[in-house]
Amino acid sequence: MPKFAANLTMLFNEHDFLDRFEAAAKAGFRAVEFLFPYAWPAAEIKARLQGHGLQLVLHNLPAGNWDAGDRGLACDPARVDEFRSGVGRAIEYATALGVPQLNCLAGKAPAGVDEATLRRTFVANLRYAAGELKRAGLKLLIEPINTFDIPGFYLNRTAQAVSILDEVGADNAFVQYDIYHAQRMEGELAATVQKHLPRIAHIQLADNPGRNEPGSGEINYRFLFAHLDRIGYAGWIGCEYKPAAGTAAGLGWMQALTN
């Protein structure tokens, strides 16, 4: 049976962020994830987690100025110091919140920077981050993201992510496999997850087109959930989708597609 975590950046967004923890617990979730905790005191988030019996399974490293269009820093050779400072801040939050893994967004390729420099910068930053996270007992994840939603995003395919992790050479670094992004970029969902299962530490979902609830689009989630059980995926699945008509109204997909 899949284990679903509510992505509080996307779900229950009819509530203020700190009120989404209660809403997720009332809806039956036992775990949550979100993009970034840094706008709130760690103690306040921890109190919400503990008060509602929730486990935090994932958040991201700082990714630059999100409101200004940044989607990560890790491939940008001009922002290495900023990236590495963010690693330390993320570890402080992760330690306080008890989260076991942090996701690193590669970011959009800066104009005029060649592929070799982008990869070299990304690999070096990942080696640094993996080393710092390992000392803290944490996993590091990297996530391929489709270039339709985020044009220019550097890391956009599963094979590319695995190749980069091979070069990084860290035993605590893994792929975060987002089914929605993978469907848009490459398809072959079941075969790809099975092939790379040992390298995948976390999965996220949304349907396509529209990035709405499972069952709203072209992806056969009933098959995929059963497939993940068959091949032995034991991690969490983050529900990172846009509710089509309110979060609570759309949660029926869980029972419908897993029974």
Residue 54 and residue 47 in contact, taking contact as beta carbons nearer than 8 Å:
no
Among residues 14, 92, 115, 240, which one is catalytic? 240
Among residues 22, 82, 92, 143, which one is catalytic? 143
Which residues have C-beta within 8 Å of that of residue 53, sequence separation ≥ 6? 25, 30
| Angle CA 32–17–126, to nearest 5 | 55
Which residues have C-beta within 8 Å of that of residue 245, sequence separation ≥ 6? none
- Is the Cα dihedral 140, 145, 150, 153 positive or negative? positive
> How far is residue 197's CA from residue 175's CA, in Å, rounded to a whole number?
9
Range list of β-strands (E), the chain: 3-7, 31-33, 55-60, 101-104, 139-142, 173-178, 200-205, 236-239
Decide if 143 is catalytic. yes
Decide if 132 is catalytic. no
Token readout for 57 is 């399974």
Which residues have C-beta within 8 Å of that of residue 190, sequence separation ≥ 6? 223, 224, 227
Residue with tokens 């981050």: 129
Q: Cite the active site residues.
A: 143, 240
